[in-house]
Amino acid sequence: MKTTYLGLELRSPVVVGSSPYTTDAEHIARCVRHGAGAVVLRSIFEEQIVRQAAALSCQSPDAGMGDAGEYLERYLGDEYLAGHLRVIAAARETGVPVIASINCMTGSAAWADYAAAMEQAGASALELNIFLQPTDRHAAGAELEKTYVDTVARVTKAVGIPVAVKLPQRLTNPLAVADALVGRGARGVVLFNRFFEPDIDIERLAFAVGSPYSHPSELRNVLRSVALCATAVPQLDIAVSTGVHDGEAAVKALLCGARAVQICTAVHRFGYAVIGEIDRFIDAWAERHGFASLDAFSGRMDYGHTADDTYQRTQYMKYYREFCGDDVPALG
């Protein structure tokens, strides 16, 4: 089933999200062979360059000399970026749109530099993976959100290709942020970025490695935001990320207003064949319901199409008899 996302024509709304499954030309070729509509490349992380440079500069006899650290950062950064640019150029040969992904540090000029280089290498679009973990009790939410939109404005000024922003789920009002992004030139949002959460081993009193993979139930946290955002900010194309493991989940996301679904854990669980399976499920479902194209059903269950208060209701009132009388749902 064809779709348009960020102004790009995709042969399928099933996109493989930024992950190890899009890490190099060989993995990307597998995504394409199995019918992916587009691929989002693994992010370039500025933080990785800075940490690596700091580690190397500690080992060097010149440790502590500021210039050496800066030189290492520049050198490692150039090498690292060059590797990403080679992957973009190779992926471009596959014929499906290639969305490059950037994760830089706050206030860094590298966002715009990397974006321009990625456009030059042949990226069809960019996805900005922005998140600031609040650790400063004096930094208000609005201040952090301003940093997001300022970063996006810098990048959209630097490139001509469409830019999507992968937003964190922990925003007070994602709609306000999405609206501000439109004004800064963004074409889409990815809802949502899923974070690597630390875990604790209570016997060893040590940090443990939690699983990076999602559970299908996580989709429900995303659907409401998609339905609200599709109605409130229709200028942005939405891609759903987090919890799309099968065709049914993909259809739900599209009904809420998404133009594409990004999958990552599903590829981990079921292999690359899941890409084609989800796409075929969408086709069969649409045919069964008499929808000839994605436009015929995309957003059919977004906030604007919903007569009742389903998307507004967040409390469990309907489970109490004093509010609903005998209509209380059975709890099983």
Q: Rule CB under 6 A: which residues touch ligand FMN?
A: 17-20, 42-43, 101, 129, 166, 193-194, 212-214, 241-244, 263-266
| CB 226, CB 201: distance < 8 Å | no
Burial class (CB in 10 A: 0-12, 13-18, 19+), 234: middle
**Beta strands of the chain (E only): which ranges?**
3-5, 8-10, 14-16, 38-40, 44-45, 98-103, 125-129, 163-168, 188-193, 199-201, 206-208, 237-241, 260-263
| Smallest gap from residue 40 Cβ to ligand FMN (A) | 7
Q: Half-sphere exposure (CA, 13 Å, Cβ side) for 192?
A: 23
**Residue 12 vs 43, nearer CB to ligand FMN:** 43
**Residue 12 vs 193, nearer CB to ligand FMN:** 193
Q: DSSP alpha helices (H): ranges in 233-292?
A: 247-255, 265-270, 273-288
| CB 231, CB 257: distance < 8 Å | yes
**Residue 75 vs 213, nearer CB to ligand FMN:** 213
| Smallest gap from residue 165 Cβ to ligand FMN (A) | 11
| Smallest gap from residue 212 Cβ to ligand FMN (A) | 4
**Residue 47 vs 287, nearer CB to ligand FMN:** 47
| Smallest gap from residue 22 Cβ to ligand FMN (A) | 9
| C-alpha Rg value of the chain to the nearest Å | 21
| Smallest gap from residue 156 Cβ to ligand FMN (A) | 18
**Residue 156 vs 241, nearer CB to ligand FMN:** 241
Please, what is the end-to-end C-alpha distance for the chain in angstroms?
Answer: 38
| Smallest gap from residue 194 Cβ to ligand FMN (A) | 4
**Residue 219 vs 291, nearer CB to ligand FMN:** 219
